[in-house]
Amino acid sequence: MAKVLIIGAGGVGAVVAHKCASVPEVFTEIMLASRTKEKADRIAAAMDKGRIQTAKVDADNVRETVALIQSFKPDLLINVALPYQDLPLMDACLATKTNYMDTANYEPKDVAKFEYKWQWAYHDRFKEAGIMALLGCGFDPGVTGIYTAYAAKHHFDEIHCLDIVDCNAGDHGKAFATNFNPEINIREITQKGKYWENGQWIEVEPISIHKPINYPNIGEKESYLLYHEELESLVKNYPTLKRARFWMTFGQKYITVLSVLQEIGMTSIKPVIYEGKEIVPLQFLKAVLPEPSSLGAGYRGQTSIGCQITGIKEGKEQTYYIWNNCDHEAAFKDTGAQAISYTTGVPAMLGAKMLLTNHWNGCGVFNVEEFDPDPFMAEIGKYGLPWNEKINCPLPVNL
């Protein structure tokens, strides 16, 4: 039925390719293109399905992507390269009238700042071109927005407080590694924290607010308040929210190593001259850290990501918690990837399916919570990410 072009052959790209290949009734032709073609070739070969074509593309170069789109003619481009490529890829989609989706919002290379404003600004142009851009369809952002939409639709008349809680209780056995692209991950964590309260954003020092949160099947884990991109769109799309926060677990060792790296300047994005050549310390650090796609074998333990919501239903206070636990070993068995790549890649495939089967349709730029959550929620379990819910029970985050 549809041709899909996946850009980025990293940890997430491998899962998206694998999952699309397992749904041939929707994804009839698949191409995986990346900067390093050999990585795409390895992913295609490992699947032994013979259905994945590969190509080399520099997604920063709009003309190169346009040429690739014109030769393959996809119905949808799935961007699972890096956030830096969002705008050039959206430009290539506009030039060729191709639908677009991604799992992370744009951030400029030289400023560690992510915001939807750059991508939302494409709305009218996508609308005029008669195509859709679906933004942030991984797990967080992605499923967390869909969980919120599902809660708002079925369990509340008004939602008031949202806490997104993200725990990785897995152990990959490495001294220090990040579960998704190291450069993007470290830029995110070393930024100031930010949350929404009573109509305004409150900014706090990086990882300065933390508390133990009780995760299902895992127990209490110290969790740190971070700014995360879905807060921006959820606060806009659910104006009744009085407070919206995002929490993520980190082990003490991770925080200690990260603060040493920060103190000695290794996380800086300001170029320095090394042996007559300009290098960016964080990009050099990325080059020596393990790749996210290499962490799968031997990773043990679970992730738990969910949304805790309070609000009003039929005049009464109500609390609701919805979550998924994903096992690293099970994710590896299914796709050869660890659970962070898996929990991102599975919703990306299903979001693509929603768009291509017209369950989610419209012209313009949209965040996932703007669509009906029901068809997505009905299917996500069968693709590997079942969900659980609790109504009016003790919540993970003590309010």
Contact positions toward ligand NDP, by CB under 6 A?
7-13, 34-36, 39, 57-60, 80-83, 85, 103-104, 138-142, 180-181, 184, 291-293, 340-341, 344
Q: Considering beta carbons, is residue 75 or 86 the nearer one to ligand NDP?
A: 86
Nearest residue to ligand NDP on Cβ basis = 10
Least spacing, CB of residue 335 vs ligand NDP, in Å: 12
Least spacing, CB of residue 341 vs ligand NDP, in Å: 6
Assess contact for 311 and 157: CB atoms under 8 A. Answer: yes
Q: Considering beta carbons, is residue 60 or 222 the nearer one to ligand NDP?
A: 60
Q: Considering beta carbons, is residue 17 or 310 the nearer one to ligand NDP?
A: 17
Q: Considering beta carbons, is residue 146 or 310 the nearer one to ligand NDP?
A: 146
Least spacing, CB of residue 63 vs ligand NDP, in Å: 13
Least spacing, CB of residue 38 vs ligand NDP, in Å: 9
Give the CA distances from residue 166 to residues 107, 142, 370, in Å, rounded to whole numbers and listed in that order. Answer: 22, 13, 22
Assess contact for 263 and 160: CB atoms under 8 A. Answer: no
Q: Considering beta carbons, is residue 101 or 155 the nearer one to ligand NDP?
A: 101
- Rounded to 10°, the helix 339-356/328-335 angle is 60
Least spacing, CB of residue 140 vs ligand NDP, in Å: 5
CA–CA separation, 204 vs 277, rounded Å? 36
Closest-CA residue to 323 (of 244, 397, 224):
397
Least spacing, CB of residue 53 vs ligand NDP, in Å: 16
Q: Considering beta carbons, is residue 156 or 299 the nearer one to ligand NDP?
A: 299
Least spacing, CB of residue 143 vs ligand NDP, in Å: 8
Q: Considering beta carbons, is residue 57 or 241 the nearer one to ligand NDP?
A: 57
CA–CA separation, 100 vs 132, rounded Å? 6
Q: Considering beta carbons, is residue 308 or 310 the nearer one to ligand NDP?
A: 308
Least spacing, CB of residue 392 vs ligand NDP, in Å: 28
